[in-house]
């Protein structure tokens, strides 16, 4: 029954260590895939795309709707935003 000297030999220790490292790497890979999703970039952990950021005009309209600014300030800032819109440089 105890033919190998009552203990694990060198190859047994190697196999146990190698198996433990493989198990840890497998667990890390599973956690990474669950947290970051297996889909493409721009997706959250549940696989839904992130909503687009609101534009400056939308934020201004929201401030006007909440009563933070009056109609004169809204019109002045909206005109300024439309005057300095990206992609209109040099016109």
Question: Domain limits of the chain?
Answer: 54-84
pLDDT value at residue 14: 87
Residue position matching structure tokens 């401030």: 63
Tens-digit pLDDT profile for residues 17-54:
999 999 999 999 999 988 877 555 555 555 677 778 88
Beta strands in 1-89 (DSSP E): none
pLDDT band at residue 11 under the 50/70/90 scheme: confident
Residues pairing with 49 in the sheet: 43
């Amino acid at each position: 029954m105890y033919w190998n000297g009552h203990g694990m030999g060198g190859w047994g220790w190697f196999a146990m260590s190698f198996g433990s490292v493989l198990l840890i790497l497998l667990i890390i890979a599973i956690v990474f895939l669950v947290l970051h999703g297996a889909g493409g970039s721009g997706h959250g952990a549940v696989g839904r795309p992130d909503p687009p950021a609101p534009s400056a005009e939308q934020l201004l309209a929201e401030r006007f709707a909440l009563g933070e600014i009056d109609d004169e300030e809204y019109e002045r800032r909206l005109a300024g935003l439309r005057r300095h819109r990206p992609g209109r440089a040099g016109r």
